[in-house]
Amino acid sequence: MASVEKVPSSPGPSVEVCKGINGLEKIVLRETRGSSVEVYLYGGHVTSWKNDHGEELLFVSSKSIFKPPKPIRGGIPLCFPQFGNLGPLEQHGFARNRLWSIDNDPPPFPTGTSSKAFIDLILKPSEDDLKIFSHSYEFRLRVALGPGGDLMLTSRIRNTGADGKPFSFTFAYHTYFSVSDISEVRVEGLETLDYLDNLQNKERFTEQGDAITFESEVDKIYLGAPTKIAILDHEKKRTFVLRKDGLPDAVVWNPCDKKAKAMADFGDEEYKYMLCVEAAVVEKAITLKPGEEWKGRLELSAVPSSYCSGQLDPHRVIHFS
């Protein structure tokens, strides 16, 4: 794997453009306390998020190919303009295997980012893209690293078509979290919700009242999920908190052993060390008229878990601010 030389500590956050694996261009964001994020222009793809101690918080498969046109396996793939197989396009659409550009003139953001390391990327359709998805758009992505090591992704998708026609899309931040052991992990915040089970032809069920744990393959789309979801890793005593806006659904996926063995770019045992919890728009597609813009924001933080009577205290996590 390619490495980046550490830049000497400076008074503020830093942004560096350099070569990554197989010569693919990437951007490295660093915060003063030591946290960092790596984003590849290929796919507009976040592949690394490290805390102040240099611990990797995202999972990327050791077998990930990092070679176009294959998408990168792990990190945070962007699913656009189609989630999964819900439409005529390739699985999860094409944004994750296109070459993005650095956006040097982004429109203003409402929130101040002076204290953050950030980068703005943009994707516009190519001639070939217009043959399979015949709509003009601008997809702007801001990746920002906060002073406390929080990772923020903001997607803004605008219909720039001059033909007067609206278009619809589904979307997900397909985040792969790094976990100690999938059997030691539980997800809080999705209890009692309705979900579509991808392992049962998207049949609709209602989740039970308990936190979600993992003993076999899971591939579910939770509908109307709350704006805050927590992933509790007992062994690492770490909790990931997802905060989302404009993204009503949440997808939870772990392939387990059988499916892991069937994926060429995924190690046979790697399913034990990852969990996807994805902020998404799946059930009801977004429709944009010409000139309209949609915004979807994801904020990720990693906090120490607290033990309470042998159990992690979910209330402390869910109400963490």
What are the strands of the beta sheet with 45-50, ordered from one edge?
A: 14-19, 25-30, 36-40, 45-50
Q: Could you tell me whether strands 274-288 and 176-178 are parallel, antiparallel, or unpaired per DSSP bridges?
A: antiparallel
User: Do 239 and 231 touch, CB atoms closer than 8 A?
Assistant: yes
| SS3 label, residue 286 | strand
Q: Give residue 30's identity as a one-letter amino acid code.
A: R
DSSP assigned state of 112: -
Question: Known catalytic residue: 174?
Answer: yes
The residue assigned the tokens 């002073």 is: 147
**In angstroms, rounded to a whole number, what is the distance separating the alpha carbons of residues 178 and 158?**
32
Nearest-angstrom CA–CA distance, 185 and 275: 9
DSSP label of 60: B
**Which is the catalytic residue, given 45, 174, 188, 299?**
174
Contact partners, residue 320, CB within 8 Å, separation at least 6: 230, 239, 241, 301, 303
Active-site position among 188, 270, 278, 299: 278
Determine whether 278 is an active site residue: yes
Report, in angstroms and rounded to the nearest whole number, the Rg of the chain calculated over CA atoms.
19
Residues with active-site annotation: 174, 278
